[in-house]
């Protein structure tokens, strides 16, 4: 049992951290700095961390990848890392190896191409929850669709669901910018033609590939949320220390100190749940329990931290004058991505009998 | 980072399971399952303490030279988790976990020789004399005086909230030996024989109807000066040491898992009787959520016990979270039982005799968890202080 990052992991993270810090500060809009960070990450080959060795990557651990997401979340930057690398390149790495697939993986990793994942309704709920019923033509929200050139589409077929690879130019596909609380790059996709065999990608087990991909992505957003929470707690503590009213700093009020303490405790809860999930990704059963728990607990923590941050900043907290609002919006979106509270509990109870699972320590029980 | 158990740790876990299988009796299990107080009566726990002591496992945190088994934090965790799973009785922590480490750290060789073996074996049953009517959260305000007179200290005053004083043959206490300087500078750490003349115990009945805590009156009680642990007026250091010692010793997980197992048992019994107060799918969802939180809490405890990346207020964070989790379990048991939980003993003496007696008693007792051992508000203050001093 190893509960800390080892030296190799630490040195990988340190390098990525430096890059992230450089772009965290400085002049320029968030969009500019985020774009610059993405360019730097792809050009320096840091995306290789998110790919298994067999796909030409370094095969960094889940904990390493997660920590990098945490740093980016802390910096408040928005990159295509989730969609392109986790929901894109890593997903493609689960397909049967072929020239075209390898080419796409490389194109994504080098930043030449940005990808987005679309899950058709009637299959599994789309990433933002259940899409409209009835017409398959209804537009579907997709993370980072507005800036993607490559679309991985998961859709039903009579012989079982499968993945297809489409581009912006594919007939029947139209993309519309639809910014969200999360990102200006989110979009809406409309597919006039349900792809059948068009550009199908051969996966040994498409459903399993999708499930683990979504779980990894969900976990990465939990790590990112930890970073955002960490920033908010730090910023709020700093504000409360310096802001003076009634002749004293806000921190002299016990109610303010206690609220800050609650934010800290919430963050620690989320950190523990996220670490546990990061260490239980290999086994599908444990993963279902631990990722759902991480998502639920981290979401709840992010509410406590986001709302506490706004509250303790007073009127300033509800204006765009500070960065607080930006972090809060991103955390609010996080709470509903990959399913809210109810979905997480749904999946947990579906994966295992609650009483049976309840009696087992997730840490000590293995599948066998 | 990974959760893989080494072959050694897997073998250890198997060993622990075997020990529990071979040594836990049905009576012990049943006794623990019906315990709604902070730990079971000695009638239930002392036999178990004896078995543990025979195996050399009664003091997981003690150094090997004093009888500790030399376990790593992970092994301690495994032991606690397996014990909880098997419903092993919780042993009174006062001797093993509180006064024992203080004696080891601050005691003379004579005191160690005299006092430690019966703590280890369970022969001595201890209680803690800390709080007073005027000194709860503000413990340093304690007033029970100990005046040196010949070879003895003469003790006068009163201690309150002493758990199981009615069963204890020994007490460790913080007493005032000087009123000069700051309050903390005049406190000494003394151990005494509960059977000494001048010591009187008055039961205090809890809102659960149980008699768990007491008030103790010291009326010219004579305590040998040889029972002063450490130096006079340096008792506060002993108390602070205990706080540090407890840090990362994380033993809440096992107890919480026990509570949770009981909730599951309650759900099972209610379901058999067709008397579950919540619809089955809602019950399932509530249990799922509790399980998720319990797993995360276990991870938090393990992280704090075994990694270096730990916030300075970690012991406060654990205490706060553990006490709230305990209360959450209490509420959950009530929710699943509903009206079935409302029965109150004929003679209102508390003490559950059947599983379905436990939800109400457990809930009422659980309210104390955010009060004793550092109230919630104090813990929040400490957490904030650590956060703001960065």
- Kindly report, residue by residue over A277-289, the tens digit of the pLDDT: 999 999 888 899 9
Give A242's pLDDT tier (boundaries 50, 70, 90).
very high
CB contact under 8 A, B292 and A273: yes
For residue A129, the model assigns a pLDDT of 35
Residues of chain A neighbouring B77 (CB-CB closer than 8 A): 363
User: Which of these ranges, A153-162, A291-300, A316-325, A334-343, has the smallest mean pLDDT?
Assistant: A153-162
Asked if B381 reaches chain A (Cβ–Cβ under 8 Å), the answer is: yes
Q: Compute the average pLDDT of residues A138-163.
A: 85
Smallest Cβ distance to B267: which of A355, A363, A364? Answer: A355
CB A98 within 8 A of CB A29: no
Smallest Cβ distance to A268: which of B1, B74, B311? Answer: B311
CB contact under 8 A, A361 and B387: no
How big is the A-B interface in CB pairs under 8 Å?
Answer: 164
CB A334 within 8 A of CB A274: no
Smallest Cβ distance to A280: which of B3, B5, B281? Answer: B3
Classify the phi-psi angles of B309: left when phi > 0, otherwise alpha if psi is within -120 to 50, otherwise beta.
beta
**C-alpha span between B366 and B361 (Å, rounded):** 8
Active-site amino acid positions of B: 246
Query: Tokens for A318?
Result: 């509800």
For residue B375, the model assigns a pLDDT of 93
In chain B, whose CA is at the least distance from the CA of A281?
A: B2
CB B246 within 8 A of CB B319: no
For residue A94, the model assigns a pLDDT of 96
CA Rg, chain A, in Å? 21
Task: Provide the edge-to-edge strand list for the sheet that holds A173-177.
Answer: A140-142, A187-191, A173-177
Buried b (16+ CB within 10 A) or exposed e, A50-67: bbeeebebeebbbbbbbb
Q: What's the gap in Å between the CA of B317 and the closest CA on chain A?
A: 6
For residue A133, the model assigns a pLDDT of 44
Classify the phi-psi angles of B172: left when phi > 0, otherwise alpha if psi is within -120 to 50, otherwise beta.
beta
Asked if A280 reaches chain B (Cβ–Cβ under 8 Å), the answer is: yes
Q: Across the 390 residues of chain B, what is the mean pLDDT of every consecutive 10-residue run? A: 91 97 96 91 95 97 95 90 91 94 97 98 97 95 97 98 97 97 97 98 93 97 98 95 68 87 95 95 95 94 86 92 96 96 69 88 93 93 94
Greater pLDDT, A123 or B5: B5
Asked if B11 reaches chain A (Cβ–Cβ under 8 Å), the answer is: no
Q: What's the gap in Å between the CA of B164 and the closest CA on chain A?
A: 30
Mutation target vs B (from A268, A345, A353; most B CBs, 10 A cutoff):
A268
Asked if B282 reaches chain A (Cβ–Cβ under 8 Å), the answer is: no
**C-alpha span between B191 and A364 (Å, rounded):** 39
With 80 as the cut, is the pLDDT of residue A332 above it? yes
Give A122's pLDDT tier (boundaries 50, 70, 90).
low
Q: What's the gap in Å between the CA of A16 and the closest CA on chain B?
A: 19
Q: Is the pTM of this model over 0.80?
A: yes
Smallest Cβ distance to A269: which of B263, B300, B311? Answer: B300
Asked if B74 reaches chain A (Cβ–Cβ under 8 Å), the answer is: yes
Asked if B267 reaches chain A (Cβ–Cβ under 8 Å), the answer is: yes
**C-alpha span between B360 and B342 (Å, rounded):** 7
Give A128's pLDDT tier (boundaries 50, 70, 90).
very low
- For residue A148, give the DSSP letter: -
For residue A135, the model assigns a pLDDT of 46
User: Which of these ranges, A96-105, A160-169, A277-286, has the smallest mean pLDDT?
Assistant: A160-169
The listed range with the strongest mean pLDDT (A124-138, A276-290, A342-356) is A276-290
Give A157's pLDDT tier (boundaries 50, 70, 90).
low
């Amino acid at each position: 049992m190893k509960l800390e990052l080892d030296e190799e992991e630490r040195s990988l993270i340190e390098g990525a951290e430096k890059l992230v810090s450089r772009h965290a500060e400085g002049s320029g809009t968030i969009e500019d700095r985020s774009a610059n960070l993405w360019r730097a990450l792809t050009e320096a080959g840091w995306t290789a961390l998110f790919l298994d060795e067999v796909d030409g990557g370094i095969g960094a651990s889940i904990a390493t990848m997660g920590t990098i997401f945490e740093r980016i979340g802390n910096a408040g930057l928005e990159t295509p890392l989730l969609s392109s690398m986790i929901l894109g390149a890593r997903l493609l790495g689960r397909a049967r190896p072929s020239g075209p697939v390898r080419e796409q993986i490389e194109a994504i990793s080098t930043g030449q191409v940005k990808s987005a994942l679309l899950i058709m309704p009637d299959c599994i709920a789309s990433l933002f929850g259940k899409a409209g019923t009835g017409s398959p033509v209804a537009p579907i929200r997709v993370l980072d669709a507005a800036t993607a050139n490559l679309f991985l589409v998961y859709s039903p077929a009579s012989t079982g669901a499968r993945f297809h690879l489409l581009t912006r130019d594919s007939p029947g596909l139209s993309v519309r910018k639809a910014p969200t609380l999360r990102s200006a790059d989110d979009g809406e996709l409309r597919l006039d033609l349900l792809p059948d065999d068009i550009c199908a990608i051969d996966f040994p087990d498409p459903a399993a590939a999708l499930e683990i991909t979504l779980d990894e992505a969900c976990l990465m957003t939990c790590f990112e949320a930890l970073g955002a929470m960490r920033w908010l707690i730090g910023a709020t503590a700093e504000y409360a220390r310096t802001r003076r009213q009634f002749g004293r700093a806000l921190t002299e009020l016990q109610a303010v100190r206690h609220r800050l303490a609650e934010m800290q405790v919430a963050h620690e809860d989320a950190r523990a749940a996220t670490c546990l999930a990061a260490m239980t990704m290999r086994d599908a059963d444990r993963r279902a329990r631990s990722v759902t728990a991480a998502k639920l607990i981290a979401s709840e923590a992010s509410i406590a931290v986001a709302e506490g941050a706004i509250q303790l900043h007073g009127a300033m907290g509800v204006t765009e004058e500070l960065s607080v609002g930006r972090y809060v919006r991103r955390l609010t979106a996080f709470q509903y991505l990959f399913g809210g509270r109810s979905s997480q509990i749904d999946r947990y109870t579906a994966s295992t009998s609650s009483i049976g699972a309840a009696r087992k320590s997730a840490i000590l029980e293995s599948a066998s | 980072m990974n959760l893989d158990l080494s072959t050694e740790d897997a073998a250890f876990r198997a060993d622990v399971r075997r020990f529990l299988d071979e040594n836990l009796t049905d009576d012990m299990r049943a006794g623990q399952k019906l315990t709604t107080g902070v730990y079971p009566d000695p009638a239930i726990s002392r036999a178990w303490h004896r078995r543990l002591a025979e195996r050399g496992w009664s003091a997981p945190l003690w150094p090997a030279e004093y009888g500790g088994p030399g376990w790593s934090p992970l092994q301690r965790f495994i032991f606690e988790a397996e014990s909880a799973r098997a419903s092993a009785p919780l042993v009174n922590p006062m001797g093993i976990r509180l006064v024992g480490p203080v004696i080891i750290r601050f005691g003379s060789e004579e005191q160690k020789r005299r006092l430690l073996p019966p703590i280890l074996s369970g022969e001595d049953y201890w209680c803690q004399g800390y709080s007073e009517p005027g000194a709860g959260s503000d413990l340093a305000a304690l007033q029970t005086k100990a005046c040196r007179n010949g070879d003895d200290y003469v003790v006068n005053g009163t201690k309150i909230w002493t758990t199981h004083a009615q069963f204890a043959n020994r007490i460790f206490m913080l007493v005032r030996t000087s009123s000069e300087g700051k309050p903390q500078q005049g406190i000494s750490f003394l151990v005494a024989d509960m059977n000494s003349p001048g010591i009187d115990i008055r039961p205090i009945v809890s809102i659960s109807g149980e008699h768990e805590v007491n008030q103790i009156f010291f009326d010219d009680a004579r305590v040998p000066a040889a029972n002063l642990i450490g130096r006079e007026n340096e008792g506060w250091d002993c108390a602070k040491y205990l706080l540090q010692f407890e840090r990362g010793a994380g033993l809440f997980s096992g107890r919480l898992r026990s509570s949770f197992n009981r909730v599951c048992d309650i759900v099972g019994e209610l379901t058999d009787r067709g008397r579950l107060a919540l619809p089955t799918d809602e019950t399932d969802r509530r249990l799922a959520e509790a399980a998720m939180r319990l797993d995360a809490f276990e991870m938090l405890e393990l992280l704090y016990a075994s990694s270096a990346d730990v916030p300075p207020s970690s012991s406060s964070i654990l205490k706060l979270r553990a006490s709230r989790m305990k209360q959450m379990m209490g509420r959950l048991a009530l929710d699943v039982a509903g009206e079935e939980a409302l029965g109150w003993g004929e003679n209102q003496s508390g003490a559950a005799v059947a599983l379905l007696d436990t939800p109400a008693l457990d809930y009422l007792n659980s309210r104390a968890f955010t009060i004793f051992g550092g109230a919630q508000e104090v813990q929040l203050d400490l957490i904030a202080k650590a956060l703001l001093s960065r």
